[in-house]
């Protein structure tokens, strides 16, 4: 465990028990956002090959500079 993780755990342990549910909700929210980002990145990478033929043509080359 690194220093930042240790400090975070110490801060959490200092909270009153009634606040632990809020911390858990916050962590769940942050994990959900990371999962959403990973899904978006994966789907973007998957679609690159599909769109390459459409996007990679001389007629649309002017848009490459934008």
Residue range of the domain that includes 54: 17-65
Residue 33 lies in a domain: yes
pLDDT at 9: 96
Residue 37 lies in a domain: yes
Check: pTM over 0.85? Answer yes or no: no
pLDDT at 56: 72
pLDDT in tens, 4-31: 999 999 999 999 999 999 999 999 999 9
Residue 24 lies in a domain: yes
Q: Which residue, chain included where needed, has tokens 């962590």?
A: 27
Residue 4 lies in a domain: no
Domain count for the chain, please give it. Answer: 1
Residue 10 lies in a domain: no
pLDDT at 31: 93
Higher pLDDT, 28 or 46: 28
What is the Cα gyration radius of the chain?
A: 22
């Amino acid at each position: 465990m690194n220093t930042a993780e240790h400090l975070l755990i110490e801060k959490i342990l200092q909270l009153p028990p009634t606040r632990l549910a809020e911390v858990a909700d916050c962590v769940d929210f942050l994990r959900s956002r990371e999962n959403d980002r990973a899904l978006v990145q994966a789907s973007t990478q998957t679609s690159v090959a599909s769109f390459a033929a459409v996007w990679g043509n001389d007629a649309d080359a002017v848009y490459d500079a934008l």
